Amino acid sequence: MPKRLYITVCGNIGVGKTSLVNLLCQEFGWQHYYEEVRDHPYLDDYYKDMPRWGFHTQIFFLTQRLKQQQEIARIPASVCQDRSIYEDHEIFAKSLLHLGIMGQRDYLSYRQLFEAIAPYVTKPDLLIYLKASVETLVERIRLRSRDCESGISPDYLGHLNERYADWMDHFDLCPVMTLDADHLDFVQRDGDLRFVYDQVSGFLAGELTARTYQPVLI
């Protein structure tokens, strides 16, 4: 493993990415990079009228993510990032197209921009995938009570879960550690948090050899 690490945490809305990034950075001394949500100028409008604001929302996310990637490439510290730039296209832009929220013309414009950017993006050393059922996601979204997320439907979350499953089946840019967020509550249970730390420590020690690491929970 290189001394300087780039770790990214991915997963559906409400699964616990930001919390895990924060905890991992505290434990391992990494620099955190969070998804820019609170200052997103289109997000409230998007959840009220997705077809009208879908393209604008995705362009803003992609722009912010590119700025993050430029910073990550420059700093010498190890980094842990909340959501990768790849999810912007593979999960959200494709979902908007398939659901009819983003038109074909807007999607093709977005994809051309993403494909022009992608070759210049630093690849992660490890992708941690938090996987959870729709029921778990709905409950965690309810508990964190963000106004902009109040209109997210279970059907939309289910569709995103399908996109994540398809993406993970084909992802080969770096090793993947899959963690079952239905059974792990690393925010509320110290034992679960220690379990996650142990899995990450194992990877850092070179014990992760398969492309996807799926721990067996007892």
Whether residue 1 is contained in a domain is answered as no
* Positions marked catalytic: 82
**pLDDT confidence of 218, banded at 50, 70, 90?**
very low
Q: What integer pLDDT is reported at residue 204 of this predicted model? A: 86
CB 174 within 8 A of CB 123: yes
Domain span including residue 126? 6-213
At 90, which CATH number?
3.40.50.300
Could you give the number of structural domains in the chain?
1
Whether residue 75 is contained in a domain is answered as yes
**pLDDT confidence of 167, banded at 50, 70, 90?**
very high
Tens of pLDDT, residues 140-156:
888 776 666 666 788 98
Note the helical H segments in 9-153: 17-28, 43-48, 50-74, 85-87, 94-98, 104-117, 134-144
Whether residue 159 is contained in a domain is answered as yes
The mean per-residue pLDDT over the stretch 77-90 comes to 94
The mean per-residue pLDDT over the stretch 117-122 comes to 91
Q: What percent of the chain has pLDDT over 90?
A: 66
Whether residue 103 is contained in a domain is answered as yes
pTM across the whole model: 0.87
Whether residue 178 is contained in a domain is answered as yes
Whether residue 30 is contained in a domain is answered as yes
| pLDDT surpasses 80 at 216 | no
Whether residue 174 is contained in a domain is answered as yes
| pLDDT surpasses 80 at 159 | yes
The CA distances from residue 107 to 89, 103, 160, 163, 217, in Å, are 9, 6, 17, 16, 40
Q: What percent of the chain has pLDDT over 70?
A: 89
